[in-house]
Structure 1
């Protein structure tokens, strides 16, 4: 790979993917460079938040680096990072409450700070879109439903929601495939 000072590019990481991940390699290229309903900022914000949620440092670094080349402002990256962190926390909490299904837990206040979600540096719709991708990766049904409803209320189309989830799925698949390359087979 590259040194700590020079992050890899997405293209360099794609080249590392083995034959078993050929579909991921092709999907990664097309979803980041092909047509779609997401704006440039939305596409890169979703990709970065998804890489963080997928716990892939090489992919996160490459996407952040490539997003700057693609003209994405730092505030989009910061909102993607915030969405990944806060939504990850919420996914654990709300998924627990949903899985347990006891009203006594649902009646208790969460008391989890999430002020950043109400004051994004981009738009609330985009921050919710980034959070939707993270919730889908973590499999929190209640959070996915809440973020999907929130983005639709803010003018995001169902096509954009669909493209967000496709992008999150490809990024997560790439993270899994890259983990095998970086760590080696187990």
Structure 2
């Protein structure tokens, strides 16, 4: 958890709300630990920010089994692929693509190595960050079938939003520093 404390300390004052939201999120116990920390890792990977990924992976490693760590990484990687493909299919004005097979391997979705609901929750977070409506809808349906409440689903997306905002705040702070050096 030391990496998370360091990450919180790096969030600049102009992003005080982001810092406060991250601190609150870490104390939030709406989701079970495995669900929460797998979600934080998958969302961090989706941000593509090395500092956020390192901090979230360090925190997750103290809570998750190796199988769950791997599944969170799998959720981030397979949804990165699916988000691009299915966002294209949905956004394209050519309806022909909707009837074509995707021909993308995604076996991990059926056998993620963790509870299916956790994997769907992590996939939902990544899809929210990447903006894929089709994937969001699919994950939400899976979570509702697994009897997750709307509050739990909303919490997952709120956490993804906070993780993304941390990455953006750190990027903005880095840009401020590079401008000051010039």
TM > 0.5:
yes
Offset, 1:72 = 2.2
In structure 2, distance between residues paired with 1:185 and 1:51: 23
Q: Secondary structure at the match of 1:9?
A: helix
Q: Secondary structure at the match of 1:112?
A: coil
Offset, 1:181 = 3.2
Verify: 1:25 aligned to 2:40, yes or no.
Answer: no
- Are the aligned partners of 1:50 and 1:137 in contact in 2 as well (CA < 8 Å)? yes
Which piece of structure 1 moves more, 120-129 or 7-16? 7-16
Q: TM-score, normalised by structure 2?
A: 0.92
1:50 to 43, 47, 52: 43
Which residue number corresponds to residue 91 of structure 2? Answer: 99
Aligned residue-pair number: 178
In structure 1, distance between residues paired with 2:115 and 2:93: 33
Verify: 1:166 aligned to 2:158, yes or no.
Answer: yes
Offset, 1:164 = 0.1
Aligned pairs for 1:73-84 within 5 A: 73-84=65-76
Aligned pairs for 1:1-186 within 5 A: 9-36=3-30, 38-69=31-62, 71-182=63-174, 184=177
More helix by share: 2
Offset, 1:8 = 6.5
RMSD, aligned α-carbons: 1.6
- Which segments of 5 or more consecutive residues in structure 2 lack a partner in the other structure? none
- CA shift in 2, pair 1:50/1:59, >3 Å: same
- Which segments of 5 or more consecutive residues in structure 1 lack a partner in the other structure? 1-6
Which residue number corresponds to residue 3 of structure 1? Answer: none
